[in-house]
Amino acid sequence: MAREPGSGPARRASDRGRYGRLNRERVLAAALDLVDREGLSALSMRRLGAELGVEAMALYRYAPGKDALLDGLVEALYLELEAHLAPAQDSAAESDWRAELHRIALATYRVCLGHPRVVPLLATRMLAVPLAQRPPAVLRDHERVLTLLTEAGLDEARTSAAFRAYTAWLLGYVSVELRPLVDNPDETDPAFRLGLHRMSAQELPTLRSTAPALVEPGGPEGLAAGLDALLDRFA
Amino acid sequence: MAREPGSGPARRASDRGRYGRLNRERVLAAALDLVDREGLSALSMRRLGAELGVEAMALYRYAPGKDALLDGLVEALYLELEAHLAPAQDSAAESDWRAELHRIALATYRVCLGHPRVVPLLATRMLAVPLAQRPPAVLRDHERVLTLLTEAGLDEARTSAAFRAYTAWLLGYVSVELRPLVDNPDETDPAFRLGLHRMSAQELPTLRSTAPALVEPGGPEGLAAGLDALLDRFA
DNA sequence: CCTGGGATGTTTACGTCGTATACGTACATA
DNA sequence: TATGTACGTATACGACGTAAACATCCCAGG
C-alpha cells in the first residue's frame, strides 16, 4: 500500500475522524446518536471509535472509561433539556412556581421521548452517582427544581419530600411510558404487540381484558395529572 | 492426580455442586445472593458457576442466556413478594381495595429494600419485556393490582391510567429511595456522604443548603402518601 | 527558520466476558 | 442388565474494556 516515506500510519492526522479533530462534545454526540439508532448494547468503545473514524483507545482522552461515557450520555440529555428550557426563561419569571415545574417536567419528558433508549441510564447511572458528583447539567436541573419549591414557601423538609416525589414520578413515568416505543414499533395490532396469545385467560382474566387499554400511552397529560396530584400532597 | 480408572473427570457427579444436583430455583437463589453481596457487575456466568461449584456452561440448562438470568432475578424478586403477600390473604378480603393496594405496594417496597442492587433491573429488564412475556409471578402481580382497580368500579380507561400511575410511582420511588443505600454506607457524616465539598455554593445555593435533607430517606410513609395522592386523582 | 515538548491518536497486548459445539457420564426405565 | 436422555464438562472463538508504549502533529520560543 502506498504511504508516506518514513513508514508512518496510512492516514495523516489531518484526515483523522470524519471532520477533523476529536473533542468531548463530538464524542458524546456520536455516542448518543449510536444509542438512539441501535440501542445501548451497540455502544462499545471500539464501535464508537469506528463511528468517529478513530481507534477505541482515542476515546479515553475524552472520557476516563466506559462508565464515564454512559454518564456522559446522561449529561448530554440534560444539556439538551437546558437548550429546550432556555427560550421561555424570561416569560417564566411571570408564571407561578407550579406552572414552571410543569414546564420543566414536560420538557424533560419530551427530551426523553427523543432518546427513549437512554432513559434506563437515568435509573442505573444517574441515581447511582452520589449527587455532588453528578454532571453539572444535572445539578443545575436539581437546583432549578429545588429553587422553585423553596421560593413557593416550603420549608426544608417539605422541599426535600416534594423534590423526591417530583423525581420519582418523573423518572418512573418516563420509564414505563417510553419503553414500549423501543420494543417493537412495527406490529400495529395491539393484541400482538402485547403477545396476548398464550396468556391464559382463566388465570389472568383482568390483565387479559385490560391489556389493550394498557398499551395506550398516557402521554404528557398523564404526566401532568400525576404531578399535580403529588404537588397537592407534598407542597 | 488420582482419579477413577477410565480417565473420567476428577469429580464424581454425585459430588457436584455443593448440595447435589442443580435446578432453576437453586441457580436463581445463588444469583440473587451473589448480586446482593457484590452487585450486578459481579454476576457473570463463570462466577455464578463457581459459586455453585459448577462450570459456567452448566447454567445454560436452566436459563437460555445471561439476559434470561437477569429476568430470572426479577422473577425471584416477585416470587419473594408473593411469599410475603400470602399470609394475610384471607384477611385481605375484608379490607377495601385501597388498603389492599397499599399493602401490596408496601410489601413490594420491603422486598426491594432487601435486594436494592436488583432494583435497576426492574427498569431495565422487566419493563423491556413485552408484558405477556414477563415472568408469571410478575403477571400475577399485575393481575392482582388490576383486579383491585376494576373491582373498585373503575372502567377500562381509568383502570389503565391508575395502573400506569401505580407502576410508575412505585418503580420511581424505590429507584430514587433505595439507590443511596448502595453507594457508601460507611461515611456517616451526611455532608461527606453527598460530597458537598467542591460543590460551588454560589452557583447551586439551594441544592447545597437542602442537600442534607435530601439524603434523609422518605421511607414507607413517603411511598404511601404519594400513592394516596395518585389514587385520589386517578381513581 | 529551526527545535523541542505537550497534545492527540495508534499499536499491541492481556484478561474476562457470553456462548456455540462436542463430548463424557449418571440415572431411570425397560 | 441394556439403553436413551438429562445433566455437567471441555474446549474454543470472537468481542469486550483498558493498560502501556509508541508514533505523529502542532505550536511556542530561540
pLDDT for res B48? 98
Distance from CA of B85 to the nearest CA of A (A): 18
Helix or strand run (H / E) with residue A3: none
Q: What is the mean pLDDT of residues A88-94?
A: 57
Distance A26 CA to D20 C1' (A): 26
For B120, the closest chain A residue by CA position comes to A124
| A9 CB inside 7 Å of strand D | yes
Q: Which chain A residues touch B120 with a CB distance below 8 Å?
A: 123-124
Q: Please write the tens of the pLDDT for every residue from B115-157.
A: 999 999 999 999 998 888 899 999 999 999 999 999 999 999 9
CA separation for the pair B209, A149 (Å, rounded): 13
pLDDT for res B91? 55
Q: If pLDDT is split at 50, 70 and 90, which confidence band does B204 have?
A: very high
Q: Please write the tens of the pLDDT for every residue from B59-83.
A: 999 999 999 999 999 999 999 999 9
- Could you count the other beta carbons within 10 Å of the beta carbon of residue A172? 26
pLDDT for res A188? 57
Residue A202 in this model has a pLDDT that exceeds 70: yes
Distance from CA of A183 to the nearest CA of B (A): 7
Residue A192 in this model has a pLDDT that exceeds 50: yes
The mean predicted confidence, pLDDT, of chain A is 87
Q: What is the mean pLDDT of residues B86-94?
A: 61
Residue A100 in this model has a pLDDT that exceeds 50: yes
pLDDT for res A198? 65
Residues A117/A39, Cβ–Cβ less than 8 Å = yes
Residue B14 in this model has a pLDDT that exceeds 60: no
Residue type, B35: V
Q: Please write the tens of the pLDDT for every residue from B32-65.
A: 999 999 999 999 999 999 999 999 999 999 999 9
Residues of chain A above pLDDT 90, percent: 72
Q: Which chain B residues touch A130 with a CB distance below 8 Å?
A: 180, 183-184, 193-195
Closest CB to A146 among B140, B210, B233? B210
Show the domains of chain B with their CATH numbers. Answer: 15-63 (1.10.10.60), 66-234 (1.10.357.10)
Task: Label residue B72 exposed, middle or buried (CB < 10 Å: 0-12, 13-18, 19+).
Answer: buried
